[in-house]
Structure 1
Amino acid sequence: MQPRDLVLALIVVLVWGINFIAIKWGVEEISPYMLTALRYIGCALPAVFFIRRPKVSLGLLTAYGFSVGVLQFSFLFLAMREGMPAGLASLVMQMQVFLTLALAVMVLRDRPVWVQWAGAGLALIGLSVIGAEHVGGAIWGPLLLTIVAAFWWAVSNIVTKQAGKIDMLAFVVWGALIPPLPMIVLALIFDGPSAITDLFAVSSQAIGSVLFIAYGSTLLGYGCWAFLLGKYPASMVAPFTLLVPIVGFVAAYFILGEQMSWFEIWGSLLIFLGLLLHVFGPRFLNRVRVR
């Protein structure tokens, strides 16, 4: 990878890791459903007027927008409003890797190698270690909500896979037209009219969070990511996402002052080792077979 593109990949990792801090600040003042709507309004406008619609069916585009926007981010934002730590959320969301693996087997008939299943098992043990400490505690509910969010991220990955080789940035921008209306309706149902009226009294920090989530994390992040995937093999680009939880944990510690228990540290290490095994294990096996 060229040095310029390496820097670009690291910028994406930095933006996506800090994004969890922005979410945490945003849900402190804005309804999680309304924050999701604002994210996608910002993502779609004005970009949708300058980017051509991707060559996919309306049904597939709707399925993507609904799974990633209405479901994934609404559950994640709700989990963080209910107390899910930003650093831990950045890691637990990576469970989408293994959930995507399971869905790919059922839907796409993929055949992962045993080392990928081993990685998934190790990550599941890590998640169990984290959950065991919080059984009956305040974080148990937010933890489950984050896992549900990771599941819908996995679903959106399968939808994206079925879309084939398309302009990913266009797919993201046009898919962003789907979530706003359903999310505004959900905000009114669960949080009442205050979900809208409270927007007139938010702080500059909350406004900055919305702008960062919409334009930094979504447009800049996914735009650069699509560029890298178009230029390099996915096997070279994808492992950079393993750095996102590290940025998330460090940022949460220094910016939000979040602390971790030993259960959370050991559980997180097991999840991270499972991710490493899942991403690099097949490549290692191939090298061993060649020798």
Structure 2
Amino acid sequence: MTILRVLGSAAGGGFPQWNCNCRNCDGVRRGTVRATPRTQSSIALGDGDQNWIVVNASPDILAQLRSAPALQPARYPRDTGIAGVVLIDAQIDHVTGLLMLREHRQALPVYASTAVLDDLSTAFPLTRMLSYYCGLDTHTLPLDGTAFAVPPLENVALTAVPLESKAPPYSPSRNAHRLGDNIGLRIVNRQSGRHAFYAPGLARIEPHVFKELAEADVVLVDGTCWHDDELIALGFSTKTAADMGHLSQSGPGGMIETLDRLPAVRKVLIHINNTNPILDEESPQRRELEAHGIEVAYDGMEISL
């Protein structure tokens, strides 16, 4: 059995965001909005035998590990169930958690594309910084459709799927797309054949991406913003969701319309921004999702494959 556990379901900044007083953040603090706090986006994949792959190392990873006792099997005085970390991009909210794992007893296995490893060795030099601590044992992901595994989880087949989103703002390639700046992840249980597709950052539904969505048993996809101009309308930014590399849920060509085209698979939104009205469990937007058979991920959610 392969277990997919949502460690964190929010976008960068988490929910509530520390300095935000939007209706959602203020309401969850005051108890006037029915919503559940969330940490920043990450999932873990387990084989049922104390071994786990962490996909994206969020800045909240220490809190996430405390909330997931299975990832700390306590077999030795210093121990972890983490066999390796897979990165889908180099965004700060997906890689900063590597710094929190610096006490690892040996070099931490990290799997990422050439583009991501380049950013982490130059613009945001985590590989150099961590060389003074545990160090990183880096593995370059194939982008040609070849599956790979993270030992000892040989029955969990992973495939990196290049997709269109954005490199981090700090990256020299922010506005110059490189293959592998962003990937989705096909996750297959070799024994059952069931599989999931994980893409928390998704700017456009390219034909090969739609094929991945349509063939999966479970999809966990970008749920960042409800409206493309959500942050502009609130006065928080001058950028649209699309400018930041995210496809909004509502409107023509949005995520809801896309997911409606899929067969009867399990459809889950993840990487949800603190401003998104779907966080309010009593909102009309949340009811609209439910009418379309779309779930909203939450920290601690588990899916069996």
What TM bracket, shorter-length normalisation?
under 0.3
Name whichever structure is richer in strand by fraction. Answer: 2
TM-score (norm 1): 0.27
TM-score (norm 2): 0.27
Name whichever structure is richer in helix by fraction. Answer: 1
